[in-house]
């Protein structure tokens, strides 16, 4: 396969970026998208040029660091697929491909296709954990969890924090990510003691980081490689409302 690539190149967040055209020759359809970028980088290095910087780690669709905008679609044209698991057979010989980093105020560009997603880390640090002492690890069946709750918690826990939801959303909202982390713990017995404090703290940090608001467009769930449902946003909003009402009642006493 021969392809024409337009790759976003940007030295750092303080400098302007631009698309640079590269010809990708003799690309195997069996290559992953990142392997194709590896080939381009090898050629650039041999020519004495700077390779294209992009994020990756596991290359197994687990870690979420590989996120790219490919022809305007987060992670590319295949649903429920991370960039590292996207194969070149999903493109045609002679195609033109535009490759960009995530676009969001809260995700500043570090270099080329690499963005700073530490805003997600700060949201997690605000409450995405269980800190109440539970003693030693209990026997697995000692704390019964209804199957429906367990299944819903596991579905929410599938979020890998890649940021595709933010990149796909026209508002650059992080509601799907934050909602997934809140719903995951909120549906389990272990998450109940801090449930309402958690949602207030995490939403507060999310807003402070500069993410946009949710207008229920649904692009976030559509672009999510783990197909997280927008139900987690509804869960988060309900818990936030309950926490706000409870706090108001306490303040009026």
Per-residue model confidence as pLDDT tens digits over 208-236: 999 999 999 999 999 999 999 999 999 99
Does residue 35 share a domain with residue 140? no
Q: At what angle do helices 195-208 and 231-252 cross, to 10 degrees?
A: 110
pLDDT at 251: 66
Which of 83, 110, 137 terminates a domain? The answer is 110
Contacts of 44 (CB under 8 A, 6+ apart): 22, 50, 51, 52
Please give the backbone phi and psi of residue 9, each rounded to the nearest 5 degrees, phi first: -115, 130
122: left (phi over 0), alpha (psi -120 to 50) or beta: alpha
Which domain, by its residues, includes 196?
117-252
Q: How many domains does the chain have?
A: 2
Q: Where are the beta strands (DSSP E) in the chain?
A: 3-9, 18-24, 69-70, 73-74, 96-100, 109-111, 114-115
Whether 140 has a pLDDT exceeding 70, the answer reads: no
What is the pTM for the complete model shown?
Answer: 0.93
Distance CA 99, CA 5 (A): 7
**Are residues 99 and 128 part of one domain?**
no
Please check whether residues 191 and 133 belong to one and the same domain.
yes
Q: Check residues 253 and 92 and name the one with the higher pLDDT.
A: 92
Q: In terms of domains, do 106 and 153 share one?
A: no
Please tell me the distance from the alpha carbon of residue 145 to that of residue 214, in angstroms, as a whole number. Answer: 31
Whether residue 130 sits in one domain with residue 101: no
* Judgement on whether residues 7 and 59 belong to the same structural domain of the protein: yes
Owner of token pair 């409302």: 241
């Amino acid at each position: 396969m021969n392809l024409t690539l337009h790759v976003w190149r940007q030295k750092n967040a303080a400098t302007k970026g631009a698309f640079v055209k590269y010809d990708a020759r003799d690309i195997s359809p069996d290559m992953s998208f990142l392997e194709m970028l590896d080939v381009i980088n090898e050629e650039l290095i041999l020519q004495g040029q700077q390779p294209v910087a992009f994020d990756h780690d596991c290359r197994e669709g687990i870690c979420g660091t590989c996120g790219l905008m490919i022809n305007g679609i987060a992670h590319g044209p295949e649903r429920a697929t991370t960039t590292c698991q996207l194969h070149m057979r999903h493109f045609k010989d002679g195609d033109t491909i535009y490759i960009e980093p995530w676009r969001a105020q809260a995700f500043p560009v570090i270099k080329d296709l690499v963005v700073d997603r530490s805003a997600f880390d700060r949201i997690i640090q605000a409450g995405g954990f269980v800190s109440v002492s539970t003693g030693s690890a209990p026997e697995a069946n000692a704390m019964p969890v209804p199957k429906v709750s367990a299944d819903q918690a596991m579905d929410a826990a599938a979020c890998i924090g890649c940021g595709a939801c933010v990149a796909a959303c026209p508002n650059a909202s992080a509601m799907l990510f934050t909602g997934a982390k809140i719903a995951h713990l909120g549906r389990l017995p272990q998450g109940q003691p801090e449930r309402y404090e958690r949602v207030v703290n995490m939403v507060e940090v999310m807003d402070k980081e500069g993410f946009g608001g949710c207008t229920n467009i649904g692009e976030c769930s559509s672009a999510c490689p783990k197909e997280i449902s927008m139900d987690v946003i509804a869960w988060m909003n309900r818990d936030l409302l309950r926490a706000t009402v409870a706090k108001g009642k306490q303040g009026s006493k």
